[in-house]
Amino acid sequence: MELKTFEPAYGSGITISATTSSARGAITNALFTESLVVTNTGSDFAYIKPGNSDVTATSADYCLLPGQQVSITWSRDVTHVAALAGTSSTSIHVIPGNGF
């Protein structure tokens, strides 16, 4: 497997306004990318989970600290990302692309 730097699918980023109830956003260009870069731009931690249009994030999912960014490899059947704020609210930015 060749490792390469992350190449974003420009124009495909979304922002999810996460609260203590799970919220989800649809990812465009999902079938043409292999990675998601997820950034917590808010001040509360959040739990995130990629999935389909029914995906719901819970406290058992990936925890993303305030200001943290992570690159996640994902299957091509993922169409949405769900986010759940830890204690109040936060903003999660998600952009698909290729590489890490």
The separation between CA 38 and the C-alpha centre of its own chain, rounded to angstroms, equals 4
**Span 16-25, pLDDT tens digits:** 999 999 999 9
pLDDT band at 77 (very low <50, low <70, confident <90, very high): confident
Q: Which residue has the tokens 């290729």?
A: 98
For position 28, what pLDDT does the model report? 83
> CA–CA separation, 11 vs 55, rounded Å?
23
Residue type for position 96:
P
**Span 25-57, pLDDT tens digits:** 999 865 677 899 999 999 999 999 999 999 999
Which is it for the CA torsion 58, 62, 67, 73, positive or negative? negative
How much is the mean pLDDT over the chain?
92
Both tokens assigned to 5 = 């730097």
